[in-house]
Structure 1
Amino acid sequence: MDSVELLLDASAEELLRRDWEFLRRAGLPSQARHAAASNRPHITLLAAPRIPDGMDGALAALAGALPLPIHVAGLVVFRTGRGHVLARLGVVSQALLELHRGVHRVLCEVPDVAVNCVPDRWVPHITLARGLTPAQVAQATELLPPDHGLVPLPALRRWNSREKTTTALTSDGEHG
């Protein structure tokens, strides 16, 4: 799946990477186990099998709203066919909803957008781990701090899953 993602600033990213590391050290599934340089804490605004390259200019124009503050709050669990996903919940603001809707307006012709990304069904979150059992979810919630507070979202990028590349849609898109 290709995606359009919001990135955290460096200090907020470090908080989330610490969450990943707490889980990894406890022997639990963790995003820390993915060593790719593109693996960064992020909030997905839209995911689809293919997002065309030709839309980058229109997406970058939306980045004028950045940086946006977001409260990185407690933990949330999503059930999937391959276990549970543990994530940090992002508290929605009007500005974040407007940016999300703007991305979907720009990419309205993109087919097969992931259902959990569409407006009015989207839950902004930062994934910490995938494939957990219920017992592992319980263990993880005991390890992690309850809240990370208000953090800035300064950068927007596009992920190309076929080429395994990211494209910065803001000047600090890979340095957040």
Structure 2
Amino acid sequence: MDSVELLLEATGEELLRSDWDILKRAGLPSQARHTAASNRAHITLLAAPRIPAEYDSTLAALAEALPLPIHTAGLVLFRTGRGQVLARLGVVSRALLDFHQTVHQALDGVPGVTGNCVPDRWVPHITLARGMTSGQVAEALDLLPGDHGQLILPTLRRWDSHEKTTTALGSTTG
């Protein structure tokens, strides 16, 4: 799946990587086990089988609305066919909901957008681990801090899963 994502500023990235490291050191599933340079803490705005590069200039123009703040509000679980996904929940603000809606309107021609990303069904979150059992989730909850407070989302990027590349579409941090 290709995706359009919001990245965290450096301090927020460090906090989330700390979460990943806590899980990894405990022998639990963790995003820290993904060692690709493209593996960054992020919030997915839209995912689809293919997001053509032709949308990049439109998305870059939308990125001028960044940065956006987001408050993390504890942990959330998503059940999947391959175990549970543990994530930090992001509290939605009007600005974040409007930005999300605008991205979807701009990419209206992209087929196959995943249902959990569409407006009114989207839950902003930052994945910590995938494929966890219930026992592993219980252990993780004992280890992880409950909240990281307000974080800043200054950067928009597009992940191309076919080419395994990311394209920066705009950033307030250079």
TM-score (norm 2): 0.98
How many residue pairs get matched?
A: 174
SS of corresponding position for 1:169: strand
Task: Indicate the residue corresponding to 1:85 in structure 2.
Answer: 85
**Amino acid in the other structure paired with 1:143:** L
Structure 1 runs, 4 residues or longer, greater than 3 Å off: none
Q: CA deviation at 1:171?
A: 4.0
- Percent identical pairs in the alignment equals 74
Whole-angstrom distance in 1 between the partners of 2:121 and 2:61 = 24
Whole-angstrom distance in 1 between the partners of 2:149 and 2:11 = 12
Whole-angstrom distance in 2 between the partners of 1:164 and 1:128 = 20
Whether the aligned pair in 1 keeps the contact of 2:154 and 2:171 (CA below 8 Å) is no
**Amino acid in the other structure paired with 1:116:** N
Task: Indicate the residue corresponding to 2:160 in structure 1.
Answer: 160
**Amino acid in the other structure paired with 1:119:** P
Matches within 5 A, 1:53-64: 53-64=53-64
Tell me if 1:73 matches 2:62.
no
Whole-angstrom distance in 2 between the partners of 1:74 and 1:154 = 21
TM-score (norm 1): 0.97
Q: 1:64-98 CA deviation, whole Å, 9 max, x = no partner?
A: 21100100120000000000000000000000001
**Amino acid in the other structure paired with 1:133:** T
Matches within 5 A, 1:113-152: 113-152=113-152
Whole-angstrom distance in 2 between the partners of 1:97 and 1:45 = 10
Tell me if 1:14 matches 2:14.
yes
Whole-angstrom distance in 2 between the partners of 1:138 and 1:169 = 38
Gapped runs of 5+ residues in structure 2? none
Matches within 5 A, 1:30-45: 30-45=30-45
Whether the aligned pair in 1 keeps the contact of 2:47 and 2:117 (CA below 8 Å) is yes
Q: CA deviation at 1:19?
A: 0.1
Alignment RMSD = 1.0
Q: CA deviation at 1:41?
A: 0.1
Whether the aligned pair in 1 keeps the contact of 2:63 and 2:171 (CA below 8 Å) is no
Task: Indicate the residue corresponding to 2:24 in structure 1.
Answer: 24
SS of corresponding position for 1:95: helix
Whole-angstrom distance in 2 between the partners of 1:64 and 1:56 = 13
Task: Indicate the residue corresponding to 1:110 in structure 2.
Answer: 110
